[in-house]
Amino acid sequence: MAIIEHMGVFAMTPGMGVMWLISLTLMYLAIHKKYEPLLLLPIGFGILIANLPLTNLMEPGEGLIWRFYHYGIEWEVIPPVIFLGLGALTDFGPLLSQPRLIFLGAAAQAGVYITFFIATSVGFTLEEAAAIGIIGGADGPTTIFLAAKLAPQLLGACAVAAYSYMALVPIIQPPIMRLLTTENERKIKMIKGRKIGAREKLVFPVVASVLIILLVPASAPLIAMFMLGNLFRESKVVERLTDTAQSSLMNIVTIFLGVSIGATMNAENFLRQEVIFIFFLGLVAFMIGTATGVILAKIMNLFTSNKINPLVGGAGVSAVPMAARVVQKMGMEADKKNHLLMFAMGPNIAGVIGTVIAAGIFLTLLG
């Protein structure tokens, strides 16, 4: 009977079964463990439906999810729109009150480039290595933006690695930060920065956009939208736009982003030895980024009397605000009165900018 011949059940492959298990694991982690549920849940479901046979959901030019993927991600729409929302949620105050902390966000990008170098030496192409290295920036939209342009075949693996490790920041970072700091260093109380006026906050996104885009034009889609979102917020005259950017709009595109990313992970693409390397190298990038931030903070302390608690350097990997919360928790473990959250938000936000610049440089040199 023709209807039986067209049933998907007879076209199942063992690889699809394995992908179902991966999908169910991600959905379990999202629902029960609350690991980045906003992304891992749609990604998990996207994997499931992409690994159901004969659906054509990802058929180029035809499939529903392919359209989300093509117009949303390949056309570079969704990651910049998410950045618009992130900008609307960001307060640059902590960074503006202590500008020197921006260098901690730069130091954490060493993880990106060192991992890029390692990835090329184990056989990945330069483009693939860039997509893997950027996982260390701990910034999902930037990882997706770069991987979609340079190594679309690795997009799913890189995105899942980035979001998984972002969820695991409270587990990955503390041992590294403990290893690189002494008890006394963790007890360092930082001096509060100056008060930041509304005018400074208003001017910064405009100035930062111009400067960054002049230096690294390829970073324009992400930086421009990030700073526009922030300008909405700081202008205080477009509250409806600010609210939309930071909530409804971001939620809508997150749905399309998650499902599309998940749907790129079919068994053929994903069940390869390289994917294990990608996850391993992504972890390495994360760990190096954490370490280099802490180490730079210690180096900066050699030249200043106004000491930086080196834990704050660990927040240089973006993962906003999770990494900053880890710093706060570790600071309070060393001294219950040591509140580091607001100090850590500076390098945390700087890490976002640093990762976008790093991605822009990759695109400039490899795109």
Q: How far apart are CA 293 and CA 285, in angstroms?
A: 12
Closer CB to other proteins, 330 or 350, in the complex? 350
Closer CB to other proteins, 37 or 136, in the complex? 136
Nearest Cα to 94, choosing from 293, 264, 339, 294?
Answer: 339
Residue the block writes with tokens 């979001």? 163
Closer CB to other proteins, 171 or 207, in the complex? 207
Q: Which residues bind other proteins (CB under 8 A)?
A: 95-96, 99-100, 102-103, 105-106, 109-110, 112-114, 116-117, 120-121, 126, 129-130, 192, 194-195, 197, 199-200, 203-204, 207-208, 211-212, 215-216, 350, 353-354, 357-358, 361-362, 365-366
- Cβ contact 137:360 at 8 Å: no
Q: How far apart are CA 304 and CA 154, in angstroms?
A: 43
Query: What is the closest distance, in whole angstroms, from the C-beta atom of residue 6 to other proteins in the complex?
Result: 48
Instruction: Assign 360 to helix, strand or coil.
Output: helix
Closer CB to other proteins, 168 or 196, in the complex? 196
Query: What is the closest distance, in whole angstroms, from the C-beta atom of residue 134 to other proteins in the complex?
Result: 10
Closer CB to other proteins, 7 or 122, in the complex? 122
Query: What is the closest distance, in whole angstroms, from the C-beta atom of residue 309 to other proteins in the complex?
Result: 19
Closer CB to other proteins, 92 or 270, in the complex? 92
Closer CB to other proteins, 31 or 210, in the complex? 210
- Cβ contact 354:105 at 8 Å: yes
Query: What is the closest distance, in whole angstroms, from the C-beta atom of residue 126 to other proteins in the complex?
Result: 6
Query: What is the closest distance, in whole angstroms, from the C-beta atom of residue 119 to other proteins in the complex?
Result: 9
Backbone angles phi, psi at 197, to 5 degrees: -80, 160
The token pair that represents 113 in the structure block:
């480039």
- Cβ contact 192:79 at 8 Å: no
Instruction: Assign 56 to helix, strand or coil.
Output: coil
Amino acid at 31: I
Cα–Cα distances (Å) from 51 to 39, 68, 131, 273, 276, in that order, read 18, 17, 24, 19, 19
Query: What is the closest distance, in whole angstroms, from the C-beta atom of residue 110 to other proteins in the complex?
Result: 6
Closer CB to other proteins, 37 or 360, in the complex? 360
- Please report the sign of the dihedral spanned by the C-alpha atoms of residue 207, residue 347, residue 365, residue 66: negative
Is the backbone peptide bond immediately before 174 cis, with ω within 30 degrees of 0? Answer: no
Q: How far apart are CA 70 and CA 263, in angstroms?
A: 12
Query: What is the closest distance, in whole angstroms, from the C-beta atom of residue 180 to other proteins in the complex?
Result: 20
Query: What is the closest distance, in whole angstroms, from the C-beta atom of residue 21 to other proteins in the complex?
Result: 35
